Each structure stands twice: as structure tokens, then as C-alpha cells.
Structure 1
Amino acid sequence: MTPERIEQLAAVLKQKRQELGLSASEVARQTGLDVGTISRIERGQIAAPQAGNLKEIARVLQIPATDIFAIADLLPEGELPTFKPYLRAKYGDLPDDAMAELEASFTRIAKQHGYDGNGPAPGEDEN
């Protein structure tokens, strides 16, 4: 992972944990990981966190694992993240309220056009 991705991952995980009102100790308890591991990931001190650890942290923080994997550059071939990590990667300098506004606009437009959030069925978008 690049230093920028490490920093971005750390910031996303810490912000979401705080939004949920969880301590690092509580995240550790719910994931079965050591609290030191959680803290080091949130401080950007682990350059290559294990995918399994990230998946467990994402589960507790109610973040799609694909979003975390996209930030960490661990996304499996053919998997796509939700819109929010794309916005953060492409427009990371925008303030959080602008990001939230963009995401809300996308969600509203997608719903107007019948998008259910599941994407195409296997083979549906291949030509």
C-alpha cells in the first residue's frame, strides 16, 4: 500500500468507529483482534494489514468489505466498491460535507432510475 492509501484507510476506519461511538477496545472485542492491532491500523502504522483483519473490522464498523479492500488496494479481480470510496479516491481533497452531498445525490439519482444497489447479474454487462 502507498503511504496515501495507508493514511486514507486509517482515517476512514477511525472516523467510522467514532461515528458509531465505539472505542478501539470494543472493536477489538467484537473482531477478536488485539486492541493494539486496531490502534496501529488506525494510526497508519501497519503498511499491509491482513485482509482477514480488515474484513472483520469492516464488519464491525458496518462498512462493505469491498470498500475497505478498494482503499487498501486489495480488491479482488472483478469486484467493485460502492460509490463513496471512489469519491474519496478521486476527490479526496473535498470536505466531508461535499462528499456526503455527492453520495446523497448519486443515491437519489440511482433510485430515480430504478437502481437497487446490486449491480448487473453475472454476464449481464459483458459484451
Structure 2
Amino acid sequence: MDDTQAAELGAHIRKHREATGLSIRRLASLVGIDQAQIIRLEQGKVASPKADVLDRIASEIRVPVADLLTMAGYPVTRALPSLRPYMRAKYRDLPPEAVNEVEDFVKRLQAEHGSGPKAGEDEA
């Protein structure tokens, strides 16, 4: 995982941690790791986060584990990641604005045609 991917993973974790109302200290306690590890992860300073740690974090911040594993560069076979992590992994050279456009387009298609997973749903 390169520096950009690590920063994106960290920002994603932080965003969802905050959305669930968890402090760094509380998340670290729930996951069973030191809070300094959460801080370093959210700052994008962990180049190779352990899959089991990402699994526990995903559970606590209520995101599909496939999303975090995909963002960290792990191969995922059980479940498909949601669109944004998939786009980041598959099309790394696309600027964030382009990923936003694709995501918005797919959301419009889903609203129009009523297909695809609901928010937070995993396709596994």
C-alpha cells in the first residue's frame, strides 16, 4: 500500500469512526489495540495494517470489512467491496473528482432503476 492509499484508508476509518460516535480511545479498547495504533492508522502512517485488526475495526465502525481490506490492498474473495473502495483499488490513477462522478452516476442509476445494494449493504 502506498502513502496515498494509506491516507485514504485512514480518512475512511476516521470518517466512519466519528459517524458512529466512537472516540479513538473507545475504538482502540473495543478492537483490543493501543490507541496510538488507531491514531497512526487514521493518519495514514501504517503501510501494512493487519487484516484481523481491519476486520475488528470494520465491525465497530459499521462498514463492510471488504471495503477496508480492499483499500489496504488485500485480495478479497468472499465479498465485493462497495463502489468507492473498488474504484480506488482498480483505478488508482483516477482523481478523487472522477471517482465522485462515477459514484454519483451509479447512485442516480440505482435511484432510477431500483437496483443494487442499499446503503451499508454488502453483496456477499
Question: Which of the five TM-score ranges fits, normalised by the shorter chain?
Answer: 0.7 to 0.9
8 A Cα contact 1:11 1:42, kept in partner: yes
The secondary structure found in structure 2 opposite 1:94 is helix
The secondary structure found in structure 2 opposite 1:59 is helix
- Counterpart amino acid of residue 25 in structure 2: S
8 A Cα contact 1:31 1:57, kept in partner: yes
TM-score (norm 2): 0.74
- Map 1:1-127 onto structure 2 (within 5 A): 1-77=1-77, 79-87=79-87, 90=91, 92-94=95-97, 99=100, 103=103, 106-107=106-107, 109-110=109-110, 113=113, 115=115, 117=117, 119=123
Taking the aligned partners of 1:42 and 1:77, their CA distance within structure 2 comes to 25
% identity of equivalent residues: 30
8 A Cα contact 1:66 1:75, kept in partner: no
1:124 is matched with which residue? none
TM-score (norm 1): 0.72
Taking the aligned partners of 1:16 and 1:92, their CA distance within structure 2 comes to 22
8 A Cα contact 1:69 1:75, kept in partner: yes
Taking the aligned partners of 1:19 and 1:92, their CA distance within structure 2 comes to 25
8 A Cα contact 1:5 1:72, kept in partner: yes
Question: CA 1:115/1:93 → structure 2, altered by over 3 Å: closer, same or farther?
Answer: closer
The secondary structure found in structure 2 opposite 1:66 is helix
Mark the runs of 5 or more structure 2 residues left unpaired by the alignment. Answer: none
The secondary structure found in structure 1 opposite 2:56 is helix
The offset of 1:79, in angstroms, is 4.4
8 A Cα contact 1:17 1:61, kept in partner: yes
Larger Rg: 1
The offset of 1:4, in angstroms, is 1.1
- Number of residue pairs matched by the alignment: 117
8 A Cα contact 2:66 2:79, kept in partner: yes
The offset of 1:3, in angstroms, is 1.1
